[in-house]
Chain A
Protein backbone atom coordinates (compact mmCIF):
# COMPACT_ATOMS: atom_id res chain seq x y z
CA UNK A 1 0.00 0.00 0.00
CA UNK A 2 1.33 3.45 -0.92
CA UNK A 3 2.40 5.61 2.07
CA UNK A 4 -0.15 8.27 1.03
CA UNK A 5 -3.02 5.77 1.25
CA UNK A 6 -1.69 4.50 4.55
CA UNK A 7 -1.44 7.97 6.09
CA UNK A 8 -5.08 8.20 7.13
CA UNK A 9 -4.94 4.84 8.89
CA UNK A 10 -1.51 5.05 10.49
CA UNK A 11 -2.80 6.04 13.93
CA UNK A 12 -5.13 3.05 14.05
CA UNK A 13 -2.35 0.69 12.96
CA UNK A 14 0.06 2.04 15.56
CA UNK A 15 -2.52 1.72 18.33
CA UNK A 16 -3.21 -1.85 17.19
CA UNK A 17 0.49 -2.77 17.27
CA UNK A 18 0.85 -1.29 20.77
CA UNK A 19 -2.18 -3.28 21.89
CA UNK A 20 0.20 -6.24 21.95
CA UNK A 21 2.34 -4.56 24.64
CA UNK A 22 4.94 -1.80 25.06
CA UNK A 23 7.42 -1.43 22.20
CA UNK A 24 10.11 0.97 21.05
CA UNK A 25 9.92 2.69 17.68
CA UNK A 26 12.11 0.26 15.75
CA UNK A 27 10.13 -2.71 17.06
CA UNK A 28 6.81 -1.00 16.24
CA UNK A 29 7.92 -0.48 12.63
CA UNK A 30 9.17 -4.04 12.39
CA UNK A 31 5.90 -5.35 13.80
CA UNK A 32 3.92 -3.19 11.37
CA UNK A 33 5.91 -4.58 8.45
CA UNK A 34 5.76 -8.19 9.65
CA UNK A 35 2.07 -8.22 10.53
CA UNK A 36 1.18 -6.66 7.18
CA UNK A 37 3.47 -9.21 5.45
CA UNK A 38 5.52 -6.37 3.99
CA UNK A 39 2.53 -4.42 2.66
CA UNK A 40 3.07 -1.44 4.98
CA UNK A 41 6.66 -0.59 4.15
CA UNK A 42 6.54 3.16 4.67
CA UNK A 43 9.48 5.55 5.27
CA UNK A 44 10.43 4.66 8.84
CA UNK A 45 10.89 8.26 9.89
CA UNK A 46 7.19 8.97 9.37
CA UNK A 47 6.21 6.68 12.25
CA UNK A 48 7.91 8.74 14.95
CA UNK A 49 6.01 11.99 14.34
CA UNK A 50 2.81 9.92 14.42
CA UNK A 51 3.84 8.38 17.76
CA UNK A 52 4.61 11.84 19.16
CA UNK A 53 1.23 13.09 18.00
CA UNK A 54 -0.54 10.14 19.63
CA UNK A 55 1.36 10.90 22.83
CA UNK A 56 0.31 14.56 22.71
CA UNK A 57 -3.27 13.37 22.29
CA UNK A 58 -2.88 11.18 25.38
CA UNK A 59 -3.44 7.92 23.51
CA UNK A 60 0.05 6.55 24.17
CA UNK A 61 2.67 7.19 26.85
CA UNK A 62 6.42 6.81 26.53
CA UNK A 63 9.52 6.50 28.68
CA UNK A 64 13.23 5.95 28.14
CA UNK A 65 14.40 2.42 28.73
CA UNK A 66 17.65 0.52 28.20
CA UNK A 67 17.09 -2.53 25.98
CA UNK A 68 19.95 -4.73 24.75
CA UNK A 69 22.39 -2.14 26.08
CA UNK A 70 20.82 0.71 24.10
CA UNK A 71 18.70 3.60 25.33
CA UNK A 72 15.32 3.48 23.61
CA UNK A 73 12.02 5.31 23.91
CA UNK A 74 9.35 2.73 24.71
CA UNK A 75 5.70 3.42 23.89
CA UNK A 76 2.61 1.88 25.41
CA UNK A 77 -1.13 2.35 25.14
CA UNK A 78 -2.85 4.50 27.75
CA UNK A 79 -6.37 3.86 28.96
CA UNK A 80 -7.63 6.50 26.52
CA UNK A 81 -5.61 4.85 23.76
CA UNK A 82 -7.14 1.45 24.45
CA UNK A 83 -10.64 2.97 24.38
CA UNK A 84 -9.81 4.85 21.17
CA UNK A 85 -8.57 1.63 19.60
CA UNK A 86 -11.85 -0.14 20.38
CA UNK A 87 -13.82 2.75 18.86
CA UNK A 88 -11.62 3.02 15.76
CA UNK A 89 -11.70 -0.72 15.19
CA UNK A 90 -15.48 -0.54 15.18
CA UNK A 91 -15.38 2.40 12.74
CA UNK A 92 -12.97 0.50 10.50
CA UNK A 93 -15.10 -2.65 10.57
CA UNK A 94 -18.14 -0.60 9.61
CA UNK A 95 -16.20 1.19 6.86
CA UNK A 96 -14.72 -1.96 5.33
CA UNK A 97 -18.09 -3.72 5.51
CA UNK A 98 -19.57 -0.84 3.53
CA UNK A 99 -16.76 -0.91 0.95
CA UNK A 100 -17.01 -4.71 0.65
CA UNK A 101 -20.74 -4.45 0.14
CA UNK A 102 -20.33 -1.94 -2.68
CA UNK A 103 -17.52 -3.88 -4.35
CA UNK A 104 -19.50 -7.08 -3.97
CA UNK A 105 -22.45 -5.56 -5.87
CA UNK A 106 -20.29 -4.14 -8.65
CA UNK A 107 -18.36 -7.34 -9.34
CA UNK A 108 -21.26 -9.52 -10.64
CA UNK A 109 -22.47 -6.68 -12.87
CA UNK A 110 -19.05 -6.52 -14.61
CA UNK A 111 -19.07 -10.28 -15.03
CA UNK A 112 -22.51 -10.06 -16.67
CA UNK A 113 -21.31 -7.31 -19.02
CA UNK A 114 -18.34 -9.40 -20.12
CA UNK A 115 -20.51 -12.43 -20.60
CA UNK A 116 -22.92 -10.60 -22.88
CA UNK A 117 -20.21 -8.73 -24.86
Chain B
Protein backbone atom coordinates (compact mmCIF):
# COMPACT_ATOMS: atom_id res chain seq x y z
CA UNK B 1 0.00 0.00 0.00
CA UNK B 2 1.39 3.34 -0.96
CA UNK B 3 -1.02 5.65 0.83
CA UNK B 4 0.27 7.66 3.77
CA UNK B 5 -0.59 6.67 7.35
CA UNK B 6 -3.70 8.31 8.80
CA UNK B 7 -2.27 11.37 10.56
CA UNK B 8 -5.29 11.67 12.82
CA UNK B 9 -4.71 8.52 14.87
CA UNK B 10 -0.95 8.07 14.66
CA UNK B 11 -0.17 11.75 15.18
CA UNK B 12 -2.61 11.89 18.09
CA UNK B 13 -0.89 8.85 19.59
CA UNK B 14 2.57 10.40 19.19
CA UNK B 15 1.29 13.64 20.75
CA UNK B 16 0.05 11.69 23.77
CA UNK B 17 3.36 9.88 24.04
CA UNK B 18 5.24 13.18 23.95
CA UNK B 19 3.38 14.71 26.88
CA UNK B 20 4.19 11.69 29.02
CA UNK B 21 7.90 11.53 28.18
CA UNK B 22 10.55 13.21 30.30
CA UNK B 23 14.29 13.36 30.02
CA UNK B 24 16.86 14.51 27.51
CA UNK B 25 15.47 15.89 24.26
CA UNK B 26 17.69 13.55 22.24
CA UNK B 27 16.25 10.52 23.98
CA UNK B 28 12.66 11.75 23.66
CA UNK B 29 13.18 12.34 19.93
CA UNK B 30 14.60 8.85 19.51
CA UNK B 31 11.65 7.24 21.31
CA UNK B 32 9.14 9.16 19.21
CA UNK B 33 10.99 8.40 15.97
CA UNK B 34 11.13 4.69 16.80
CA UNK B 35 7.48 4.66 17.77
CA UNK B 36 6.47 6.46 14.59
CA UNK B 37 8.50 4.06 12.44
CA UNK B 38 6.90 1.09 14.21
CA UNK B 39 3.38 2.48 13.84
CA UNK B 40 3.97 3.15 10.15
CA UNK B 41 5.11 -0.46 9.68
CA UNK B 42 2.13 -1.79 11.64
CA UNK B 43 -0.20 0.47 9.67
CA UNK B 44 1.22 -0.69 6.34
CA UNK B 45 0.87 -4.33 7.42
CA UNK B 46 -2.75 -3.79 8.44
CA UNK B 47 -3.50 -2.04 5.14
CA UNK B 48 -1.90 -4.96 3.30
CA UNK B 49 -4.37 -7.23 5.11
CA UNK B 50 -7.20 -5.17 3.63
CA UNK B 51 -8.17 -2.93 6.55
CA UNK B 52 -9.37 0.57 5.68
CA UNK B 53 -7.01 3.45 6.62
CA UNK B 54 -8.76 4.38 9.89
CA UNK B 55 -9.08 0.81 11.14
CA UNK B 56 -5.48 0.08 10.15
CA UNK B 57 -4.18 3.10 12.08
CA UNK B 58 -6.36 2.34 15.10
CA UNK B 59 -5.18 -1.26 15.19
CA UNK B 60 -1.56 -0.10 14.97
CA UNK B 61 -1.84 2.23 17.97
CA UNK B 62 -3.98 -0.19 20.00
CA UNK B 63 -1.45 -2.97 19.59
CA UNK B 64 1.32 -0.63 20.71
CA UNK B 65 -0.40 -0.05 24.07
CA UNK B 66 -1.70 2.94 26.01
CA UNK B 67 0.71 5.86 25.39
CA UNK B 68 0.96 6.81 29.07
CA UNK B 69 1.78 3.23 30.05
CA UNK B 70 4.36 2.81 27.29
CA UNK B 71 5.98 6.17 28.12
CA UNK B 72 6.11 5.22 31.82
CA UNK B 73 8.16 2.13 30.96
CA UNK B 74 10.81 4.37 29.42
CA UNK B 75 11.14 6.40 32.63
CA UNK B 76 12.93 5.47 35.81
CA UNK B 77 10.28 4.83 38.52
CA UNK B 78 11.04 8.00 40.47
CA UNK B 79 10.74 10.25 37.44
CA UNK B 80 7.35 8.83 36.45
CA UNK B 81 6.01 9.40 39.96
CA UNK B 82 7.44 12.93 39.99
CA UNK B 83 5.75 13.64 36.66
CA UNK B 84 2.38 12.48 38.02
CA UNK B 85 2.78 14.59 41.16
CA UNK B 86 3.76 17.63 39.09
CA UNK B 87 0.66 17.18 36.93
CA UNK B 88 -1.57 17.00 40.02
CA UNK B 89 0.13 20.07 41.53
CA UNK B 90 -0.33 22.00 38.27
CA UNK B 91 -4.03 21.04 38.15
CA UNK B 92 -4.48 22.08 41.79
CA UNK B 93 -2.72 25.40 41.15
CA UNK B 94 -4.95 26.10 38.17
CA UNK B 95 -8.13 25.26 40.12
CA UNK B 96 -7.00 27.40 43.07
CA UNK B 97 -6.29 30.30 40.70
CA UNK B 98 -9.70 29.95 39.01
CA UNK B 99 -11.38 29.65 42.43
CA UNK B 100 -9.74 32.81 43.75
CA UNK B 101 -10.65 34.76 40.62
CA UNK B 102 -14.24 33.48 40.97
CA UNK B 103 -14.30 34.79 44.55
CA UNK B 104 -13.09 38.15 43.24
CA UNK B 105 -15.85 38.22 40.63
CA UNK B 106 -18.40 37.42 43.35
CA UNK B 107 -17.09 40.52 45.15
CA UNK B 108 -17.88 42.58 42.06
CA UNK B 109 -21.34 40.98 41.88
CA UNK B 110 -21.82 41.92 45.55
CA UNK B 111 -20.98 45.53 44.66
CA UNK B 112 -23.67 45.50 41.95
CA UNK B 113 -26.20 43.98 44.36
CA UNK B 114 -25.31 46.56 46.95
CA UNK B 115 -25.69 49.46 44.55
CA UNK B 116 -29.11 48.25 43.40
CA UNK B 117 -30.58 46.55 46.49
CA UNK B 118 -28.68 48.17 49.35
CA UNK B 119 -26.07 47.12 51.90
CA UNK B 120 -28.57 45.16 54.02
CA UNK B 121 -29.28 42.83 51.09
CA UNK B 122 -25.58 41.99 50.87
CA UNK B 123 -24.57 41.89 54.54
CA UNK B 124 -27.47 42.84 56.77
CA UNK B 125 -27.68 41.38 60.28
CA UNK B 126 -30.29 38.97 61.58
CA UNK B 127 -33.17 40.39 63.58
CA UNK B 128 -32.18 40.90 67.21
CA UNK B 129 -28.49 41.49 66.60
CA UNK B 130 -27.30 44.49 68.62
CA UNK B 131 -23.97 46.25 69.07
CA UNK B 132 -22.39 48.07 71.97
CA UNK B 133 -22.39 51.89 71.75
CA UNK B 134 -18.62 51.83 71.15
CA UNK B 135 -18.98 49.42 68.22
CA UNK B 136 -21.84 51.49 66.81
CA UNK B 137 -19.63 54.55 67.04
CA UNK B 138 -16.97 52.71 65.02
CA UNK B 139 -19.46 51.75 62.32
CA UNK B 140 -20.85 55.30 62.14
CA UNK B 141 -17.32 56.67 61.89
CA UNK B 142 -16.77 54.52 58.78
CA UNK B 143 -20.21 55.34 57.40
CA UNK B 144 -21.40 58.72 58.68
CA UNK B 145 -24.05 58.80 55.94
CA UNK B 146 -25.90 55.87 57.59
CA UNK B 147 -29.10 56.78 59.43
CA UNK B 148 -28.79 54.05 62.09
CA UNK B 149 -26.28 51.80 63.80
CA UNK B 150 -27.73 48.77 61.92
CA UNK B 151 -27.39 50.49 58.56
CA UNK B 152 -23.81 51.52 59.33
CA UNK B 153 -23.00 47.94 60.43
CA UNK B 154 -24.51 46.51 57.22
CA UNK B 155 -22.52 48.98 55.11
CA UNK B 156 -19.32 48.09 56.97
CA UNK B 157 -19.91 44.36 56.57
CA UNK B 158 -20.69 44.84 52.88
CA UNK B 159 -17.38 46.74 52.56
CA UNK B 160 -15.60 43.75 54.03
CA UNK B 161 -17.39 41.29 51.73
CA UNK B 162 -16.39 43.30 48.68
CA UNK B 163 -12.85 44.18 49.74
CA UNK B 164 -11.76 40.72 50.87
CA UNK B 165 -13.29 39.03 47.85
CA UNK B 166 -11.77 41.43 45.35
CA UNK B 167 -8.41 41.01 47.11
CA UNK B 168 -8.79 37.24 46.73
CA UNK B 169 -9.55 37.77 43.05
CA UNK B 170 -6.39 39.83 42.57
CA UNK B 171 -4.40 37.10 44.32
CA UNK B 172 -6.02 34.60 41.93
CA UNK B 173 -4.88 36.64 38.94
CA UNK B 174 -1.32 36.51 40.29
CA UNK B 175 -1.60 32.74 40.74
CA UNK B 176 -2.84 32.29 37.16
CA UNK B 177 -0.19 34.68 35.84
CA UNK B 178 2.51 32.72 37.67
CA UNK B 179 1.12 29.50 36.20
CA UNK B 180 1.22 30.83 32.62
CA UNK B 181 4.64 32.48 33.06
CA UNK B 182 5.97 29.13 34.28
CA UNK B 183 4.75 27.52 31.07
CA UNK B 184 6.35 30.29 29.00
CA UNK B 185 9.69 29.98 30.74
CA UNK B 186 9.75 26.17 30.59
CA UNK B 187 8.07 25.12 27.34
CA UNK B 188 8.19 21.39 28.21
CA UNK B 189 6.14 22.11 31.32
CA UNK B 190 3.31 23.11 28.98
CA UNK B 191 2.66 19.42 28.62
CA UNK B 192 2.38 18.91 32.37
CA UNK B 193 -1.42 19.09 32.59
CA UNK B 194 -1.80 16.88 29.54
CA UNK B 195 -0.39 14.00 31.59
CA UNK B 196 -3.73 13.80 33.35
CA UNK B 197 -6.58 12.09 31.56
CA UNK B 198 -8.35 14.78 29.56
CA UNK B 199 -11.58 14.76 31.57
CA UNK B 200 -10.03 14.90 35.05
CA UNK B 201 -9.53 18.66 35.45
CA UNK B 202 -12.94 19.68 34.03
CA UNK B 203 -14.65 16.93 36.06
CA UNK B 204 -13.06 18.06 39.31
CA UNK B 205 -13.77 21.72 38.46
CA UNK B 206 -17.38 21.03 37.54
CA UNK B 207 -17.97 18.97 40.69
CA UNK B 208 -16.25 21.41 43.05
CA UNK B 209 -17.74 24.63 41.70
CA UNK B 210 -21.11 22.98 41.09
CA UNK B 211 -21.36 21.80 44.70
CA UNK B 212 -20.21 25.19 46.00
CA UNK B 213 -22.70 26.98 43.73
CA UNK B 214 -25.63 24.85 44.84
CA UNK B 215 -24.81 25.14 48.57
CA UNK B 216 -24.23 28.91 48.45
CA UNK B 217 -27.38 29.49 46.39
CA UNK B 218 -29.51 27.36 48.72
CA UNK B 219 -28.17 29.22 51.73
CA UNK B 220 -28.88 32.57 50.03
CA UNK B 221 -32.40 31.53 49.07
CA UNK B 222 -33.18 30.21 52.53
CA UNK B 223 -32.08 33.55 54.01
CA UNK B 224 -34.01 35.48 51.36
CA UNK B 225 -37.21 33.48 51.72
CA UNK B 226 -36.97 32.83 55.45
CA UNK B 227 -39.16 34.43 58.06
CA UNK B 228 -38.40 37.94 59.19
CA UNK B 229 -36.18 40.54 57.53
CA UNK B 230 -33.74 39.14 54.96
CA UNK B 231 -30.32 39.14 56.66
CA UNK B 232 -27.76 39.56 53.92
CA UNK B 233 -28.70 36.91 51.34
CA UNK B 234 -26.61 38.75 48.76
CA UNK B 235 -23.30 37.60 50.20
CA UNK B 236 -24.36 33.98 49.60
CA UNK B 237 -26.21 34.51 46.32
CA UNK B 238 -23.34 36.47 44.74
CA UNK B 239 -20.96 33.59 45.45
CA UNK B 240 -23.50 30.98 44.39
CA UNK B 241 -24.25 32.59 41.03
CA UNK B 242 -20.57 32.97 40.13
CA UNK B 243 -19.75 29.40 41.24
CA UNK B 244 -22.57 28.02 39.10
CA UNK B 245 -21.35 29.98 36.07
CA UNK B 246 -17.80 28.66 36.55
CA UNK B 247 -19.21 25.13 36.99
CA UNK B 248 -21.12 25.53 33.71
CA UNK B 249 -17.85 26.47 32.01
CA UNK B 250 -16.18 23.34 33.36
CA UNK B 251 -19.24 21.32 32.27
CA UNK B 252 -18.71 22.50 28.69
CA UNK B 253 -15.01 21.55 28.88
CA UNK B 254 -15.95 18.17 30.35
CA UNK B 255 -18.43 17.50 27.58
CA UNK B 256 -15.86 18.44 24.95
CA UNK B 257 -13.22 16.24 26.50
CA UNK B 258 -15.60 13.27 26.64
CA UNK B 259 -16.68 13.74 23.03
CA UNK B 260 -13.12 14.13 21.73
CA UNK B 261 -12.11 10.96 19.89
CA UNK B 262 -9.01 9.21 21.18
CA UNK B 263 -7.54 6.12 19.58
CA UNK B 264 -6.65 4.53 22.88
CA UNK B 265 -7.00 5.40 26.55
CA UNK B 266 -4.23 7.60 27.94
Cβ-defined contact, A45 with B65, below 8 A: yes
**Per a CB cutoff under 8 Å, which of B37, B65, B74 touches A26?**
B37
Of A25, A49, A52, the contact of B38 (CB 8 Å cutoff): A25
Please state if A73 and B30 are interface contacts (CB–CB under 8 Å): yes
Cβ–Cβ < 8 Å partners of B35 in chain A: 45, 48
B interface footprint on A43-55 (CB within 8 Å = 1, 0 otherwise): 1111011101000
Distance in Å from the Cβ of B161 to the closest Cβ of chain A? 55
The reply on B41 being an interface residue by CB < 8 A is: yes
A24 to B30, CA, bound (A): 13
- From A25, which residue of chain B is reached at the shortest CB distance? B38
Q: CB distance B70 to A49 under 8 Å?
A: yes
Which residue of A is nearest B61, CB measured?
Answer: A45
- Closest residue of chain A to B31 (Cβ to Cβ) is A48
Whole-angstrom distance between the Cβ of B247 and the nearest chain A Cβ: 38
Which of the residues B37, B65, B67, B69 comes within 8 Å of A24, measured between beta carbons?
Answer: B37
Given the contacts A26-B41, A49-B73, A71 and B33 also touching, CB distance less than 8 Å: yes
> Which B residues are in CB contact (< 8 Å) with A25?
34, 37-38
Cα distance, A44 to B41, chains bound together (Å): 12
Please, how many residues of chain B have a CB less than 8 angstroms from a CB on the other chain?
18
Query: When chains A and B are docked, how far (Å) is the Cα of A70 from the Cα of B36?
Result: 11
Task: Flag if B37 contacts A44 (CB, 8 Å).
Answer: no
Contact check, B64 vs A43: say whether CB atoms are below 8 A apart.
yes
Choose among B33, B35, B41, B64 the residue with the greatest number of A CB atoms under 10 Å from its CB: B41
Nearest B residue to A49 via CB reads B73
Asked if A73 contacts B34 (CB within 8 A), the reply is yes
* B34 adjacent to A48 (CB under 8 Å): yes
The reply to whether the CB of A72 lies closer than 8 angstroms to some CB of chain B is: yes
Query: Which of B37, B63, B74 is within 8 Å of A71, CB to CB?
Result: B37
Whether the Cβ atoms of A70 and B70 lie closer than 8 Å is no
What sequence of 0s and 1s flags, for each residue 12-42 of chain B, a beta carbon within 8 Å of any chain A beta carbon?
Answer: 0000000000000000001101110110111
Residue-wise, chain A 1-37 has the 8 Å CB interface mask toward B (1 for contact) of: 0000000000000000000000011100100000000
Inter-chain CA distance A43–B33, complex, in Å, is: 18
Q: From A52, which residue of chain B is reached at the shortest CB distance?
A: B74
Q: Contacts of A50 on B, CB cut-off 8 Å?
A: 73
Name the A residues within 8 Å of B67 (CB-CB): 45
B63, A43: Cβ atoms closer than 8 Å? yes
Measured CB to CB, the residues of A under 8 A from B are 24-26, 29, 43-46, 48-50, 52, 70-73
13 A-B residue pairings within 8 Å (CB atoms):
A26-B37, A26-B42, A44-B38, A44-B42, A44-B63, A44-B64, A45-B35, A45-B65, A45-B70, A45-B73, A48-B31, A48-B38, A49-B73
